[in-house]
Amino acid sequence: MKRILKIDEWFHPDGFPISVERREPQEHFEPHAHEFTELVIVTGGKCLHVTGSESWELTAGDVFVMTGRREHEYRDLLDLRLVNILYQPNRLQMGLLDLPSVAGYHALFTIEPVRKKRQMSKGRLHLSGKELGMVIELTDRLETELQAREPGFGFMATAAFMQIIGLLSRCYGRSPSPDGRALLRIGEALSHLERNIHRELNLEELASIANMSQRSFLRIFQSAMGTSPLAWAIEQRINRACSLLRHTDKRVTEIAFDIGFNDSNYFTRQFTKTVGVSPRAYRLRQGG
């Protein structure tokens, strides 16, 4: 039975959903998965990173995201040093603003964690020495706030975390590898979908943005995301609907049209299928 790292074991008792764990050096740790998401920054040394039947070498400057309950471990450690930023995406009070318009954000935080065939040795983010120094500086600032926990630390820590995500997203955009560039093109399509989530999905337009044929786009998108563009778009619309149901007094029909559903009954069916309850029941459950 694989070990699953629990939220209450790795986060502060006050419930703040960001934590920093330094491993300098990283010692052998049994295969494990998480109840949270882990942003891993390799600051020195090297090792073999193993996830299931896949493995690849890690060296200083490598950055990747582990999400869900995907099991992984480090083998053949040679003075490996890591900074792990642990976070709970569903509990973060963090507005992304225009960050989803950055293709590198989708490549690193949306696509890479769910890829079926990762080919990480070709596509992962690898920081230059200067970039790694900038990320470490921001991580030090984040850790200082989390350790001191002075009044306002939540705001300051979240701001530092957002800067880290923004910087890494920009760095991914400069990826020189063919696999990384392919993910960036899919990321461009995801950015377009995010900006136009209320519009009817246009496959020809998305393929053009990704600079691919429709057939290649569908194949690569399905391989990277594990789902079709339409299914992904519907999921994003439902996520947005959940936010509107929690934070506004808009009627369900109005929300359906706002997020791109022309039929409120179809919206209700899709919402119920995804969330498990109807939009009205969801709002009542959230105290609306």
CATH 2.60.120.280, applies to 3-172: yes
**Among candidate residues 119, 158, 1, the one with its CA nearest the CA of residue 69:** 1
Domain boundaries, the chain: 3-172, 178-227, 231-285
Instruction: For 25-35, write each residue's pLDDT tens digit.
Output: 988 888 899 99
Least confident among 77-81, 153-157, 224-228: 224-228
Beta bridge partners of 85: 20, 39
Q: Are strands 37-51 and 54-59 parallel, antiparallel or unpaired?
A: antiparallel
CATH architecture observed for domain 231-285: Orthogonal Bundle (1.10)
Measured between alpha carbons, how far is 111 from 134 in angstroms, rounded to an integer?
24
Phi, psi angle pair for 68, to nearest 5°: 65, -150
pTM of the model: 0.77
Structure token pair of residue 283: 């709002």
**CA-CA distance, 210 to 89, in Å (whole number)?**
27
- The tens digit of pLDDT for each residue in 165-195 reads 999 999 987 766 666 777 788 888 888 888 8
Burial class from Cβ neighbours inside 10 Å (0-12, 13-18, 19+) for residue 44 reads: middle
